[in-house]
Amino acid sequence: MPLLQVTDLQVRYGRILGTNGISFSLEAGESLALVGSNGAGKSSTLKAILGMAEWPQGQILLDGQDLRGSKTSDIVRQGVGFSPEGRRVFPMMSVADNLRAGAFTRPREEAAERMEAMFAYFPRLRERAGQRASSLSGGEQQMLAIGRALMSRPRLLLLDEPSLGLAPIIVERIGEIIEEVQRREGLTFILAEQNANWAMRVAKRAVILELGRSTIAGDCATLLDDPRVQNAYLGL
C-alpha cells in the first residue's frame, strides 16, 4: 500500500480552480518532485494534502485512509510535516522556540532529542539558538523552516519552494541536508519546485504539473533526458 495516494485531485478556492486533475502516489521512503511553473497547482496540492485547502473532487489517501474532512492538526499528528513557501518562521520567537513549536504534537521528552538532531543537521541553527528568527539570513530562515517541519518527526515531509530566492550554493546545501535526513530517518518527501533542475536531482521521481493537471511522470533520471521536459523546464 502506498504511503500517499492522490487521485484526480481538484482544489478550489471559491470559484477559482487551484488544480484540476492531479494524480500520483508515493511509497514510504520515496521522494517526489512536483515540478511546474507558477500557478501549475504545486502549492494547492500540498495544501490539500495538509487539509488547508478545499478539494471538492478527487481522493487523498494516507496509509490507505481517506483524508477528506480531517483537520490539519490531526493530519500533522498522523505524521505529515509541512514547510510552507516563503521561508515562514515565527519572526519574534527565538530559533530554539521556533523549533520547539514544531514539536507541538509530540511528547516533550522527544522535543529536546529532536532539537539536538536538528542542530546536527543544521549546525548554524545551534549557533543562533537564542536569536530572534527574524535576525537570520534568508538561507538560515529556510533551514529553520525545514527544521521546524522536521521537529514532529514526520513520515511525509511536504516542502513548498525551498529554493525560492536563495543563492545557488545555499540551495545545493539544503538539497544535501534533505538527502541526509532521508538517508538517516527513512523520510518520504514531496518537493514542490519551480527550480526543476535542482528538484529532479534531489528527488528520485517527478511529476510535471501543467495548468493544474499532472502531465508527465517518471524517474527523474529518465525525465532529465526527456526532450519535452528539457525544453519546457530545464532551459536546454
Partner 1 sequence: MTDASLSPLALAPRAGGRPLAIAAAVVAVLALVPLVIADKFILSLGSTVFITAIAAASLHLIIRTGHISLGHAAFMGIGAYASVLTVMELGLPFAAGVLAAFVAPCLLALAIGPLVLRLTGKYFVLVTFLFGEIVRMVFVEWKSVTGGANGIFGIPAPAPVFNDPAAYYYLSLGAGVLLVGFIARLLASEVGRAIDAVRESERLAHCSGIPVLRLKVTIFALGCGIVGIAGALQGHFIRYVDPTSYSVVQSLNLVVVNVIGGMQTLVGPLVGTLFYLILPEMLRGYVELQRIIFGIILIIVMAFLPGGLVELGGRALQLVRRRAGS
Joined together, the cell numbers standing for residue 211 give 495548468
Residues in the chain: 236
Q: Mask of contacts with partner 1, 126-145, x by CB under 8 A?
A: ----xxxx-x----------
Site for partner 1 contains 82 (CB under 8 A):
yes
Closer Cβ to partner 1, 148 or 205, answer by number: 148
Query: With binding defined as CB under 8 A, does residue 15 bind partner 1?
Result: no
Sign of the alpha-carbon torsion through 166, 167, 171, 177: negative
Q: Does 61 bind partner 1 (CB under 8 A)?
A: no
Dmax over CA atoms of the chain, in Å, equals: 51
Q: Using CB under 8 A, which of 17, 52, 177, 216 touches partner 1?
A: 52
Minimum CB distance to partner 1 smaller for 150 or for 229: 150
Residue 217: strand pairing partners: 207
Q: Looking at 35-43, 92-100, 207-215, 224-232, which segment touches partner 1 (CB under 8 A)?
A: 92-100
Contacts of 227 (CB under 8 A, 6+ apart): none
* Contacts with partner 1, 196-235, as mask; x by CB under 8 A: ----------------------------------------
Distance CA 138, CA 165 (A): 8
Region of 30-38, 85-93, 202-210, 226-234 interacting with partner 1 (CB under 8 A)? 85-93
Pick from 37, 104, 222, 231 the residue near partner 1 by CB under 8 A: 104
d(CA 14, CA 4): 26
Query: In terms of CB distance, is 88 or 204 closer to partner 1?
Result: 88
Q: Going residue by residue from 106 to 125, which x/- string records binding to partner 1, judged by CB under 8 A?
A: --x-----------------
Catalogue the long-range contacts made by 62-67 (C-beta closer than 8 Å, 24 or more residues apart).
62/3, 62/4, 62/156, 63/1, 63/3, 64/1, 64/5
- 3-class DSSP string for 164-206: CCCCHHHHHHHHHHHHHHHHHHCCEEEEEECCHHHHHHHCCEE
* Residue 132 vs 201, nearer CB to partner 1: 132
- Closest approach, Cβ 216 to partner 1, in A, equals 29
DSSP state of 160: E
Residues binding partner 1 (CB under 8 A): 50, 52, 71-73, 75-77, 82, 84, 88-94, 97, 100-102, 104-105, 108, 130-133, 135, 148-149, 152
